[in-house]
Amino acid sequence: MTTTTVSPGQPSALAPLLDRLRAPGHPRPAVDPELAGGLREWLEDALAEAVGALAVDAPDVRVRKDALTQVLVCEGHFAASRAAPRVVTVELARGSLVDALFRQWVTVGEIGEPLTDSLAALATEDGGDGVVAFVAEIPAERRRALAAELAAHVARIRGDWPVPSPAWLPRTQERVMVPLVGGRVVLSGVVDLALGGPALDQASVCLVEVKSGARRVEHRADLHFYALLETMRSGAPPFRVATYYSATGELDVESIGEDVLVGALQRVVAATTKMCRLAAGAAPVLTPNPLCAWCAGLPGCVPGQRRSGTSVPRSTGGDGGDDPPEVAS
C-alpha cells in the first residue's frame, strides 16, 4: 500500500490540508508566560464556593466535553444521561470505528479491510466500550452497510490526509487532564490528533478532532474546551484547532486567541458550578429544549413531555430513529 508522508517544507498534492493546520511561513502568536497561571487561578477562585459545598467524601467532579454541553442545556438531561445505561447506536459505533481507522492511518499509513481493522483495534481497548459486541449482533445486511460506510470514510481520509512526518510530533488519542481545587474538580479530554510540541515563546500546537457525522454547533465549543485544557497543561495555548469531517472532507480551522480561552473558561465555570450543585444533592433544574424527545429522563419529566408531546424517548440515529437537533449551549 502506498503511504504519502509530508515533511515540513516538502511539496505535495496533500500538503494543503497540513498547511491549513500548521500555517507555514506565518508568525505564531507569542506566549504570555502568565496566561496559563492566570486562567487556572481564575477557575479555582470561581469554583471555590461550589466545591466547598461538596461533602468531604463526595467523588471528584469530572468535567468532560459532553458533560459541559448536557448540563448547560438541561440539568435534568445531564442527570438522566449519567444514570441511564450507555446505549450503542449505529452512529456511535461508526464514530468509534472511524476514529480507530484515522488513528491507524495517521500512525501506520496502512489500512486493510476497514471494518476488520477497526474492530480489531477496538477489541484491544476492552471492546471499544461495547462497540465490538454491538457490531457482532446487528443483522448481516446492516453490518454490510456499515462496512460500506467505513470504506467511504477511509477513501476520504486517504485522499485528504498525508501521514505526518515524525518531525510534526503527531500524537493520537492525546489525553489531557487538569485537576483543580485540590483535585476535587478534574477537567479532562482526549484529542484525536495533536501536532507540534509546546513551546515557551511561541504557540506551536494544533489540535484536531475527527467527526464521522454532520457538523454540529457544539463541535467548536468542544475544541475551545480542549484549547483551554492544553493551555493550562503545557503553559502555552494551541495556535490552531480544527474539526475534520470524514464524510465530506471539510476541515473547520480556527485560530486561538485569549478571547476564545476566556469564553471557554466562562463556559466551564457555568457548567462545573451546576455539576457541583447536583453532586451536593440539589435537585436538577429542568429546562425544556429541543433535546427533550431524546432524553432518557423523559418518562419522569413533565416539562419535557409538554415540550416533546410524548413520554416515550426516541431512539438515536441509524436504526429507524432520528438524530437529535443541534442545541447551542
The tens digit of pLDDT for each residue in 157-199 reads 999 998 888 888 999 999 999 999 999 999 999 999 999 887 7
- Rounded CA-CA distance 123/132 in Å is 7
Mean pLDDT of 288-307: 93
- Domains of the chain, residue spans: 29-74+165-269
Give the amino acid at 222: D
Strand partners, 30: 202
Q: Cα–Cα distances in Å, from 64 out to 42, 69, 191, 224, 272?
A: 19, 9, 12, 12, 10
Element housing 241 (H / E): strand 240-245
pTM score of the predicted model: 0.90
Judge whether 228 and 39 are in contact, CB under 8 Å.
yes
- What is the rounded average pLDDT for all residues in the chain? 89
Give the amino acid at 320: G
Element housing 189 (H / E): strand 185-195
- The single-letter DSSP state of residue 236 is S
pLDDT at 8: 40
Element housing 5 (H / E): strand 5-6
Report the first-to-last Cα separation within the chain, whole angstroms: 44
How big is the CA angle at 220 (ends 218 and 222), to the nearest 5 degrees?
A: 70
pLDDT at 261: 97
Judge whether 188 and 139 are in contact, CB under 8 Å.
no
For 102-128, the pLDDT digits (tens) are: 999 999 999 999 999 999 999 998 767
